[in-house]
Structure 1
Amino acid sequence: RNNQLYVWVDFGPPSITAFNRHVILDRFDGYFNLTMTYRRDSDIYFPFGIMMKIHENLRRNPKSADLQKLMLTKDKEVIWVNDKCLFTKGYGFHLRIVAKLIALGIPLDIYGGCVASQRRTDIDLVRYKFVLVFEDKMHCRDYISKKVWTALEMGTVPVIWGPLRADIAAVLPPNSYLFLEDYQSVVELANHLKYFIQNAESYLEFLKWRIDPQNRQIPKRKLTSLKSITDESYGLCQLCKLLHEDERDELMAGFRPAHRVPSIYHWWYLENTKNCLIPAGSFEMTIN
């Protein structure tokens, strides 16, 4: 049917798919009409979180933007929440970072996974100053999982590893997070964490974006229709808006606008980074 749209929807890093099955996607060249993923260059932008929604929640609940009251709740320092038990090299890298931080004197609570002493359901994230957010894969384009967005909304500073720095900077408020790859060593990171843990005024700088909840536009948005798509339109709402615009154009012009993705295989895999596509079992990174 010419008026039937087929949409490619995916919420995991590309390498999560069995690596030897990627190639079958080239059989669908020209088959899909739209892409709908967390990548900003998708036809339909469907991220795990978005600053506009967080800002709107802050406007509805002004008390959550009271930084002094927020600081009074923070009686703990650093937390790592790990939901998985995968002894891959990538997971091993996470464990080595955590173990070294503990050895360097960072007060760190661990929940979930194979090495936790506390149950996943006991978490009160707002009590912590920092949360370690280690993604499953490295440098997957725009892959910023729900853990980052939850931390920001709760008022806890995420220490992020996994995404590209440019992708983080494009969608998160400046000075609202720490980026692991900015540090030359775990020792340097530990010293930085200790400094902010001990200096409340310096730590507050990470939270000041909450008192000025302005909408943050999504840069480099891809327009999916002949009409303009606003920055407030994303996810299912953007898809709905697109379909209604297509129907309106069909009534006026007698035909629907043509949408076509030339190659999902090229767009989803070949246009990603080499680090992202490395199978989890062959991942390796050194730490000092």
Structure 2
Amino acid sequence: MTRGLFNPKPLVFDKCDFKNCKITTDMQQLSTSEAVIFLHDSFSSLPKKPNGQVWIFATLESPYFTINRFKTDQLKRKFNWTMSYRKDSEGFSPYALLRKHVQSPVKNYTSIYLNKTKNVAWVVSRCRTPSKREAYVKELSKYIDVDIYGKCGKPCSFKEDCKTHLSETHRFYLSFENSLCKDYMSEKILRIYNNNINFLPIVRGAPNAGDYLPQKTFISTSDFESPRKLAAFLHMLGSNETRYISYLKEKDKYFDTVNGCLRVGICDICHRLNYRKQYSKTINLTKWLWENQCHMPNDIHT
């Protein structure tokens, strides 16, 4: 059973190892369901938990934007499993899974490169963040041009196709997350792997981004001691046609297949329900959210 999670109608289990699970949002079945999935912002209080029922905590947000939704005492010894972007979740639901094209797109990469007249673009709506990305960009802007759009910058006249159009004139895009947490990689990074988008992502977020992204398809701020050193590398790469195009071609070999949806992990949940005795546990959710997960930036000084 789900509560405030997603529309169950398109969810089927025909591609799962086990096909005997069913999802419902019928609240009349809350006390009789074998398991209940709670989205992190779908409840202000918890119902009485029947004996033997599995409670699953689901979120695609980082701990910074999850923990302030409810009281801490609600989280102690209530939940059994988790469903999130984290690899250690019982229902692993990454924002995206990059797949490789059978055949790489055919593009005139020289023309794409020569049409670019600007360096860095950024579309952003949250102006103050735990990752202090806004401070990083302020420092970066001292050494390379950065055009900022969205609520924290100037309006983008292209609306929904903003990034696509910006990629025609800009060489790089700031795929900066609001939090620096393990496994936390949202659409800010992964949608740049749309083949209609012709610039390179500069990644700042999960310290283990390399576990998800193919090498030579992105630039990571963690590889540079400071924004100044990153800017120097961007100037070098952006002025080298051969090397820049090699990055862009490599990026275009991949595409995003998920687009941020919790239902990806539903097969994992169904599997565990069929073997639930092997996965029996109760978790301290506050500890699970925070322990060894997030860090503050160490490459900027504010």
TM-score, normalising length from structure 2?
Answer: 0.66
Cα contact 2:175–2:204 (8 A) shared by 1: yes
Structure 1 distance, partners of 2:280, 2:69, is 26
Letter in 2 for 1:239: I
Q: Deviations over 1:69-118 (max 9, x none)?
A: 654664542101111233x6x57x433433333332x2322101233364
Structure-to-structure mapping, 1:1-288, within 5 angstroms:
1=32, 3-5=34-36, 6-18=55-67, 23-27=72-76, 29=77, 31-52=78-99, 55=100, 58-59=101-102, 62-63=105-106, 67-68=109-110, 70-71=112-113, 74-86=116-128, 90=130, 93-104=132-143, 106-116=144-154, 118=156, 121=159, 122-123=162-163, 124-127=165-168, 128-138=170-180, 140-153=181-194, 154-164=197-207, 167-210=208-251, 235-240=262-267, 242-243=269-270, 245=271, 257-258=276-277, 259-263=279-283, 264-273=285-294, 275=295, 286-287=300-301
Cα contact 1:25–1:265 (8 A) shared by 2: no
- 1:271 Cα deviation after fit: 4.5
SS at match of 1:62: coil
TM-score, normalising length from structure 1?
Answer: 0.69
Go from structure 1 to structure 2 and tell me whether the alpha carbon gap of 1:36 and 1:191 turns closer, same or farther (over 3 Å shift). same
Cα contact 2:87–2:183 (8 A) shared by 1: yes
Cα contact 2:127–2:134 (8 A) shared by 1: no
Q: Percent sequence identity over matched residues?
A: 22
Structure 2 distance, partners of 1:20, 1:194, is 42
Pairs aligned (count): 242
Letter in 2 for 1:158: P
- 1:169 Cα deviation after fit: 0.9
Structure 2 distance, partners of 1:81, 1:209, is 23
SS at match of 2:57: strand
Structure 2 distance, partners of 1:213, 1:134, is 20
Structure 1 distance, partners of 2:70, 2:272, is 34
5+ residue gaps, structure 2, are 1-31, 37-54
Cα contact 1:111–1:119 (8 A) shared by 2: no
- With CA pairs under 8 Å and 6+ residues apart, which has the higher RCO, 1 or 2? 1
Q: Deviations over 1:203-262 (max 9, x none)?
A: 1232343465599xxxxxxxxxxxxxxxxxx9525414653x578x5xxxxxx6334442
**Which of the pair is proportionally richer in helix?**
1
Cα contact 2:105–2:253 (8 A) shared by 1: no
Q: Deviations over 1:22-61 (max 9, x none)?
A: 632443x1x4343210111111111112112xx3xx4488
Letter in 1 for 2:238: I
Structure 1 distance, partners of 2:62, 2:254, is 30
Go from structure 1 to structure 2 and tell me whether the alpha carbon gap of 1:69 and 1:59 turns closer, same or farther (over 3 Å shift). farther
SS at match of 1:48: coil
Letter in 2 for 1:11: L
Cα contact 1:79–1:110 (8 A) shared by 2: yes
Go from structure 1 to structure 2 and tell me whether the alpha carbon gap of 1:67 and 1:7 turns closer, same or farther (over 3 Å shift). farther
Letter in 2 for 1:270: E
Partner of 1:229: none
